[in-house]
Structure 1
Amino acid sequence: MLDLARQTPPTQLGRGAMIAWGIGTLGPVTVLTATNALLLRFLTDNYGLAAGLAASLIALSKFYDAFADVAMGVVSDRTNSRWGRRRPYLICGALLLAVSIFAIFAAPAFAGERTRLIYMALVLIFYATAYTIYNVPYMAMPGEMTRSYHERSELMRWRVYAVGLAIIIASAIGPKLLGWFGGDAAAYAKMALIFTPVVVIAGLVAFLGTAHAPATARAVTHHTMGEQIRSAARNKPFAVLILVKFVTLMSLGVQAVFPFFFQRILGVPIAVLGTYFFWQSAMFLLAPSLWLLCSRRWGKKRTFVAALALSLPAWLSWALAGHGEPLPLVYLRGVVIGISGSGVILMGQSMLPDTMEYDYRRTGLRREGVFAALYTTVEKLSGAIGVALVGMLLGRYGYVQSLGPAVAQPASALWAIRFAMAYVPAIITIAGMAALLAYDLDERKLAAMPLPVGPVALG
């Protein structure tokens, strides 16, 4: 019988490095969550763009970002500096992200729609570039920081804690700030100004706190980018994980429908949305230890499936909600979806460095940047499709945009909002569970693979 205790590398990371790296996700996730949850409504109800046009603009910026991710992955793999291959980009990316969120939500009120469109297109490209510069090297770091199968889950637990805190900042506190500041276009600018120091400080903490964490040096290779991408695609566990994340991460883009649903279907102030996201985010902070225990007992794959399945009743129940819905029931859905989302993120993130380790043992190459880039590329593409789907539904069924004051919506638009809120996430969840059936990498299979003595040919 295989002795996993002997085969698995010992713990290398200190708690401080884990926490610091986890805090590093506060910046990008705060900006990502704010744009996913609030940007589409800002563009339609405060910036005067049609719903379909606004959604297409957001989606196109994410498609651009997807192509930039791969280039950034290769750049970080090939970087040599006194601070390592990845860490310098944490500082640069954090500063650019802070500028981008303010530029988005403090957009000048140009009189012409075409001018507003051009400005927002340029700013969203800038934001996409900043996100890529930070997030691709950041997501490559776990593959270097530890080779312990279970320590990866422990490391990712601290990231999930930070994700929960970021969601509280962006989705719970954000809407409340909008309500306090009056809910107009100027309120969005004030909200963004409050978020900017959070983004900068998080990047600085991650940079300083991981100074002594294990890292790998650049390996000289003559393989082209295309050869490496094709080789990565032949990594079956990674390919399956990418498919699962592509499907499930569409729910991030679908979050764009939340402000519409709470205002138009539930008929509640936007501050209630903030409270909903508070309860959802609180579960992100409380549930990771439970999911970590489940993964040690059931394995990561089964835990991932269980986490997805937990959210199904909550998503489908939105189809029955309407005006007068008791707020405790609204918040209960947030609790369930938050517990589920905590497990989904924890398992998906902890399985990513497993596939990086599998690739290293299979090829002898240390190319965490390429894998992180492909992973975040899928994240952008799926999020773009989710946002575009919401925008297309609203536009197709007659949602009426405005420059601030609320306008009455046709029954068809209200049906589209309800469909996007309840049935689209449920379909996404079921598809993700089905895709996970093909994932076959576990601790025993990984430990049975010998460590390579050097790079091998990419056949």
Structure 2
Amino acid sequence: MASTTIDPALDGAEPRLSRGAMIAWGVGTLGPVTVLTATNALLLRFLTDNYGLAAGMAATLIAVSKFYDAFADVAMGIASDRTKSRWGRRRPYLIGGAVLLAISLLAIFAAPSFAGETARIAYMALILIFYATAYTVFNVPYMAMPGEMTRNYHERTELMRWRVYGVGLAIIIASAAGPKLLDWFGGGEDAYAKMALVFVPIVIGAGMIAFFGTAHAPSTERTAMHHGIGEQIRSAAANRPFVVLVIVKFITLMSLGTQSIFPFFFQRILGVSNGVLGTYFLCQSAMFLIAPSLWLWCSKRIGKKRTFLVALAISLPVWLSWMLAAQGEPLWMVYLRGVVIGISGSGVILMGQSMLPDTMEYDYRRTGLRREGVFAALYTTVEKFSGAIGVALVGALLGAYGYVQSRGGAIAQPESALWAIRIAMAYVPAAITLAGMTALAFYDLEERKLNETVRA
């Protein structure tokens, strides 16, 4: 495999990354996060309540596609590191990946209504593999770009702030507007297809903006140095800050997979409409547009690690409070939870993402190699494994406690299934958060250590 080195000229003073390039790169995340959020929040219920698959089978299909995607990430990282084109190593994949993502979104939510369950299972298995491939084609090169675009410790956080804004907009589009669109289009399978059609131009447009807007951003070129993938992974494993960050990401992002429980909880426990679920996600995602400046301010004063810990800690009481929620609870209490979870989530994403290019820079200083693609691939691989485990856990809980699937009709659920929904909504994410905080305590790559490595 080909690794890369950075031009020695870049070891000198580097000009600040332009605001336009930062914004364009941040906008690029609209595509993958819109599709990812829509599938995380709505796909499991679509498969069980509209497409007629058992909860355990639906969760298994989603989990298997994510496990496949995890292995595809490494191949994509190698491919992007080895790519040589007039547009750089990463940017060509932004447009191609966006188009594939749009196609996969339509293919999932406009799935043919085969009469036989076996045919439905086979179709969805193939389409979810296609979706996983599309996500990898875009996301791995995209996440490798910050390691090349800037080498300034705090500028990386500034760059990631624009991605968090993009994540917030994507959540509004997929989680907040998505359920409202389902109600507007009348519910049922057709409503999901029309919702996906609304998202298609957003996904493709975001990829085009990221491609053209980062045309003049700094990047590195492929060189002729060759290192096997096994050697690359072993070398990455010697990067202790990266390993700790990957472990933290693995733990905390399992909660992303458990988001698939939200539609079940709002419908079965709170007894409210898709519109209320959409408003909840609107409150949550609005904080992704407001809170990043606060977290950026905190990170400059108490450091990225401590800021990360604070962001995780404030979500704990909120997760646990869902056990007390019931039908008739004032909606302002529901929406307040969304606000706090949104503030917490924006800090978790901002700090985690800004730490990743720090570990890439640390690797370069230790080895002299530029291989952002491999690091981004390993990082996103963990995302897929954790997401697969999260959604599999939710599906396993529902299946084990007797959740009954349907093809659009309203079916009463046993008390055991309702209890499983509560557990997945409250105790599971609270336990995940505590475990993430424990792992984060071992991260030690603060600004001073990175600067000392530069001097060495």
Provide the secondary structure at the position in 2 that maps to 1:450: helix
Residue 225 of structure 2, aligned match among 191, 213, 221? 221
The worse-fitting range, judged by mean Cα deviation, of 442-451 and 319-328 is: 442-451
- What is the Cα deviation at residue 397 of structure 1? 0.2
Equivalent position of 1:275 in the other structure:
279
1:231 aligns with 2:231: no
1:165 aligns with 2:169: yes
RMSD: 1.0
AA paired with 2:371? R
Provide the secondary structure at the position in 1 that maps to 2:225: coil
Return the alpha-carbon distance in structure 1 between the equivalents of residues 119 and 100 of structure 2.
23
1:188 aligns with 2:192: yes
Return the alpha-carbon distance in structure 2 between the equivalents of residues 432 and 244 of structure 1.
5
Give CA deviations for 1:344-398 in whole Å, capped at 9, x if unaligned: 0000000000000000001111000000000100001100100000000000000
1:321 aligns with 2:356: no
Residue 331 of structure 1, aligned match among 332, 335, 338? 335
Give CA deviations for 1:397-447 in whole Å, capped at 9, x if unaligned: 000000001100000000000000000000000000000010000111111
AA paired with 1:166? A
Structure 1 alignment gaps of length 5 or more: 1-6, 453-459
Equivalent position of 1:456 in the other structure:
none
Preserved CA contact (<8 Å) 1:57 1:121: yes
- What is the Cα deviation at residue 11 of structure 1? 4.3
AA paired with 1:81? S
Residue 21 of structure 2, aligned match among 17, 23, 46? 17
Give CA deviations for 1:118-170 in whole Å, capped at 9, x if unaligned: 00000000000000000000000000000000000000000000000000000
Return the alpha-carbon distance in structure 2 between the equivalents of residues 8 and 114 of structure 1.
61
- What is the Cα deviation at residue 220 of structure 1? 2.2
Residue 447 of structure 1, aligned match among 429, 435, 451? 451
Equivalent position of 2:303 in the other structure:
299
The residue correspondences of 1:49-88 to structure 2 (distance < 5 A) are 49-88=53-92
- What is the Cα deviation at residue 8 of structure 1? 9.5
Q: Percent identity?
A: 78
Structure 2 alignment gaps of length 5 or more: 1-10
Return the alpha-carbon distance in structure 1 between the equivalents of residues 392 and 78 of structure 2.
29
1:425 aligns with 2:443: no
Return the alpha-carbon distance in structure 2 between the equivalents of residues 166 and 248 of structure 1.
20
- What is the Cα deviation at residue 245 of structure 1? 0.2
Provide the secondary structure at the position in 1 that maps to 2:314: helix
AA paired with 1:170? A
1:398 aligns with 2:402: yes
Return the alpha-carbon distance in structure 1 between the equivalents of residues 206 and 455 of structure 2.
35
1:368 aligns with 2:372: yes
Give CA deviations for 1:26-47 in whole Å, capped at 9, x if unaligned: 0000000000000000000000
Return the alpha-carbon distance in structure 2 between the equivalents of residues 397 and 8 of structure 1.
61
Give CA deviations for 1:14-34 in whole Å, capped at 9, x if unaligned: 000000000000000000000
- What is the Cα deviation at residue 183 of structure 1? 1.3
Equivalent position of 2:116 in the other structure:
112
Provide the secondary structure at the position in 1 that maps to 2:145: helix
- What is the Cα deviation at residue 221 of structure 1? 2.0
Provide the secondary structure at the position in 1 that maps to 2:408: coil
Equivalent position of 2:100 in the other structure:
96
Equivalent position of 2:3 in the other structure:
none
- What is the Cα deviation at residue 223 of structure 1? 1.1
Preserved CA contact (<8 Å) 1:37 1:257: yes
Preserved CA contact (<8 Å) 1:303 1:343: yes
| TM, length-normalised to structure 2 | 0.97
Preserved CA contact (<8 Å) 1:219 1:365: no
Equivalent position of 2:393 in the other structure:
389
- What is the Cα deviation at residue 451 of structure 1? 6.8
Residue 138 of structure 1, aligned match among 121, 142, 156? 142
| TM, length-normalised to structure 1 | 0.96
Equivalent position of 2:5 in the other structure:
none
Give CA deviations for 1:31-81 in whole Å, capped at 9, x if unaligned: 000000000000000000000000000000000000000010011001000
AA paired with 2:364? Y
The worse-fitting range, judged by mean Cα deviation, of 138-147 and 441-450 is: 441-450
Equivalent position of 1:257 in the other structure:
261
- Tell me how many residue pairs correspond in the alignment: 446
Instruction: Provide closer, same or farther for how the CA distance between residues 451 and 263 of structure 1 changes in structure 2, counting only shifts above 3 A.
Output: same
Give CA deviations for 1:259-308 in whole Å, capped at 9, x if unaligned: 00000000001110000000000001000000000000000000000000
Residue 352 of structure 2, aligned match among 330, 348, 352? 348
Return the alpha-carbon distance in structure 2 between the equivalents of residues 197 and 133 of structure 1.
18
Preserved CA contact (<8 Å) 1:248 1:429: yes
